[in-house]
Amino acid sequence: MCGIVGAIGATECIPFLLQGLRTLEYRGYDSAGLAVLNNGLQRARAKGRVAELEARVAEQQLSGQVGIAHTRWATHGVPAEHNAHPHISTGLAVVHNGIIENYEALRSTLQTLGYEFTSDTDTETIAHLIRACLKGELDGTEPAGDLFSAVQSAVARLQGAFALAVISEDETDTLIVARQGSPLMLGVADDGHYAASDASALLSVTRRMMYLENGDVAKLTRDSIFLIDASGQQVEREVITSSLSANAVELGEFNHYMQKEIFEQPQALGNTLEMISGAGKLEPGIFGAEAAEVFQQVDSVLIIACGTSSYAGMTAKYWIEQVAGLPCNVEIASEYRYRVSVANPRQLVVVISQSGETADTFAALEHAKAQGHTHTLAICNVPESAIVRETALRFITRAGPEIGVASTKHSPLN
């Protein structure tokens, strides 16, 4: 999963889209692409670096005020220009982060309807599915009245994780976005509206941001945001002012982010422990107002995490059993989420994720709750993240933005 950005504004959007992609470059990717509306839909794609896409954009003389862009980390189909996003279905373009688990069934339905596929991706299915919803070609459906309704009907048919941005030459004043399981946030600026999979990609235009919830579909115009939640209700989401500083993502004297973040470890740990040392001892309140009451009821701990976070969890297990005297288990989120296990309502479920957006950990948290767990605690570095919003208790590490993808200053448990 890599990055997406989108813009609908009163000014040229290409510089923002390219800058956004460059900001997301640290995640690693295999190809990049963008599409803009300007007398029709125009697209540029390139395998390799954003610099290569930039050269294509210049060569093709692309410009526009409404656009979407993508850096791809291939999950379906090899890294190649024909698999790079955006994917198009006659005049509408889609960028997507994530994986569509039921894409094969959807693809064969769409092929039966006459849609031709030019890539091997799961994403192209979404583009044609939206087009089929617009035309009312799927069983028992009427043509959707507009792009927003078509995206709503299409996402209702998708299984898996996605953050999407969609534009169409039939509605040149609209940018549609949707999220389920993959991160996506909106930027609110004086000259228009923006979307990105990571807050850092919005900082060049605004600090005012709105985090989307799972199941949200939003219609952005230059001066409005219309949002529908998972239950189909119109909702408003709070606009927050991001505390991310543009400098925090700058390299400074270091050669690369991995090095920078390794050298920041003492500072990150110090910042995180400040809350504890201030109180003189570990007060339950640092985990949230209800923590003291919850901890009274807890008889064991279940830590759920992926990768380095799960190794941190294994260390925590030793401490929790030795110091707190509570039985503790550690589960890998990507296994736990797919299996039936025996829930203990007196167990504290602890999820660990640096970003708070790790798809398997988020799904495992939902799964734990669905199985009957009631006490949940997140250890996370991003206070606005999906995982933090879904747990009753939380401990926020204060490590600053983590750019080096390999775990560097992940959590104080490391």
Binding site for ligand GLU (CB under 6 A): 1-2, 72-77, 96-99, 121-123
| Comparison of 106 and 303: residue with beta carbon closer to ligand GLU | 106
| Comparison of 154 and 228: residue with beta carbon closer to ligand GLU | 154
Of the candidates 62, 76, 74, 75, the one whose C-alpha atom is nearest the C-alpha of residue 34 is 62
| Comparison of 73 and 226: residue with beta carbon closer to ligand GLU | 73
Minimum separation from the CB atom of position 76 to ligand GLU (A): 4
| Comparison of 77 and 412: residue with beta carbon closer to ligand GLU | 77
Helix, strand, or coil (residue 160): strand
Minimum separation from the CB atom of position 164 to ligand GLU (A): 10
Q: Are 75 and 99 in contact (CB under 8 A)?
A: yes
Task: Return d(Cα 268, Cα 262) in angstroms, integer.
Answer: 10
Task: Return d(Cα 3, Cα 412) in angstroms, integer.
Answer: 27
| Comparison of 96 and 394: residue with beta carbon closer to ligand GLU | 96
Q: Residue 405 CB: number of other CB atoms within 10 A?
A: 12
Helix count and strand count (H, E) for the chain: 12, 19
Minimum separation from the CB atom of position 55 to ligand GLU (A): 21
| Comparison of 74 and 269: residue with beta carbon closer to ligand GLU | 74
Helix, strand, or coil (residue 411): coil
Rounded to an integer, what is the distance from CA 306 to the centroid of its chain? 16
| Comparison of 127 and 217: residue with beta carbon closer to ligand GLU | 127
Helix, strand, or coil (residue 176): strand
- Residue for token pair 């199941």: 215
Q: Are 6 and 69 in contact (CB under 8 A)?
A: yes
Minimum separation from the CB atom of position 124 to ligand GLU (A): 8
Minimum separation from the CB atom of position 385 to ligand GLU (A): 18
Minimum separation from the CB atom of position 41 to ligand GLU (A): 19
* Token duo for residue 187: 């930027």
Supply the DSSP string of 266-323, one letter for each residue. Answer: HHHHHHHHHHHHHHSS--GGGG-TTHHHHHHH--EEEEEE-HHHHHHHHHHHHHIIII
Minimum separation from the CB atom of position 79 to ligand GLU (A): 9
| Comparison of 181 and 192: residue with beta carbon closer to ligand GLU | 181
Minimum separation from the CB atom of position 169 to ligand GLU (A): 22
Minimum separation from the CB atom of position 227 to ligand GLU (A): 23
Of the candidates 305, 196, 179, 187, the one whose C-alpha atom is nearest the C-alpha of residue 239 is 187
265: Cβ contacts below 8 Å, ≥ 6 apart: 408, 409
| Comparison of 160 and 412: residue with beta carbon closer to ligand GLU | 160
